[in-house]
Amino acid sequence: MLNGYNAEDKVLVAVDCIIFGFDNEDLKILLIKRDFEPEKGKWSLIGGFLKNQETLDDAASRILHRLTGVHNIYMEQFYAFSEVDRDPKERTVSVSYFALINIENHNKELIENYNAKWFSLSKAPKLIFDHNEMLAKAIRRLQRRASIKPIGFELLPEKFTMRQLQKLYEAILNKDLDKRNFINKINSLDILIKLKEKDMTSSTKGSFLYRFDQKKYDEKLMDNFYLKL
């Protein structure tokens, strides 16, 4: 029985991670400059190969931690890419994940060590293989998820202004939102705690800071959330 699969084709399994970040103004993607052939010197998504003793989720966590130094970040498997000629070197199936990271908490030394760089989505360079297709599918999945789960908050600092939150959703959805309508819809979700502190950098009067209610956030993350913007 142990030799029952010997006659079958062997295929490599890769895990590619589309890492989104937000800098309070713009939605960005973390890319790495490839340092080996094929396509050496070109920009790529962050990825690696599945090891024998790993699940796909384990592999994605390992790859994300290696580059960012962060554990327990939001990530989601969203698609498998299996075109026969997608990798010119070996027959490889790629399982893709998207992840959400707060740029302010990111370890800059690790980014520099891996020749990685944040790019605005509108200014991202052409990527290797089918990585542009992966990125496009990840953006569409993020947009859908943001309307049915409060995952956007994963991209914000612990304390944030309502303007920052609106700018985030505008960046994710790639459209302008009416300020009054947005605030009313967010408040109706009842997952924010308004703080007495203010961010004094935005205006002379300052803007109140908010943080999300962890208990209510966790409940909404599981069920009963819909944000139509």
Q: Show the tokens assigned to 212.
A: 């999300």
Distance CA 165, CA 153 (A): 8
Q: Tell me the whole-structure pTM to 2 decimals.
A: 0.88
Do 41 and 135 lie in one domain? The reply is yes
CATH code: domain of residue 19: 3.90.79.10
**Beta-carbon count within 10 A of 103 CB:** 18
User: Looking at the domain assignment, is residue 26 inside a domain?
Assistant: yes
Question: Which pLDDT does position 113 carry in this prediction?
Answer: 64
Question: Which pLDDT does position 108 carry in this prediction?
Answer: 59
Q: How many residues does the chain have?
A: 229
Q: In whole angstroms, what separates CA 124 from the centre of its chain?
A: 15
Q: Show the tokens assigned to 159.
A: 């304390």
List of the chain residues with pLDDT < 50: 1
Do 142 and 197 lie in one domain? The reply is no
Distance CA 68, CA 57 (A): 16
User: Looking at the domain assignment, is residue 5 inside a domain?
Assistant: no
Distance CA 203, CA 207 (A): 7
Q: What is the secondary structure of 97-124 as a DSSP string? A: EEEEEEGGG--HHHHHHTTEEEEEGGGP
Question: Which pLDDT does position 105 carry in this prediction?
Answer: 67
Phi/psi region, residue 32 (left: phi>0; alpha: psi -120 to 50; beta: rest), is beta
Give tens-digit pLDDT for 166-184.
Answer: 999 999 999 999 999 999 9
Distance CA 172, CA 146 (A): 8
CATH code: domain of residue 200: 1.10.10.10
User: Looking at the domain assignment, is residue 66 inside a domain?
Assistant: yes
Do 136 and 156 lie in one domain? The reply is no
Partners of 31 in the β-ladder: 117
Q: Which domain holds residue 30?
A: 12-148
Torsion of CA 41, 174, 133, 105, to 10 degrees: 50
